[in-house]
Amino acid sequence: MATEYQAQLLNECAKGNHDVETKYGTCGIITAVLLFPIGLICLFTDRKKKCARCGVPL
């Protein structure tokens, strides 16, 4: 039963319906705090998006 559920989730990823998860880098966060508001540019460039289900970088 659990394998069927996991297969359904991976089928959604195969269709292109990824569950996007965004993580911001440490350097971007520190720069955003110290050099606000210009540091926000660094924050938004220092991010990584990946699928929470299958782990594929987006």
pLDDT tens digit string along 1-56? Answer: 678 888 888 888 888 888 899 999 999 999 999 999 999 999 999 999 999 888 88
Cα–Cα nearest to 19, from 43, 54, 45: 54
Q: For residue 29, which amino acid is it?
A: I
* pLDDT attached to residue 25: 93
Predicted TM-score (pTM) of the model is: 0.63
Cα–Cα nearest to 15, from 7, 23, 5: 7
CA distance 43 to 5: 36
User: Could you give the 3-state DSSP secondary structure of residue 35?
Assistant: coil
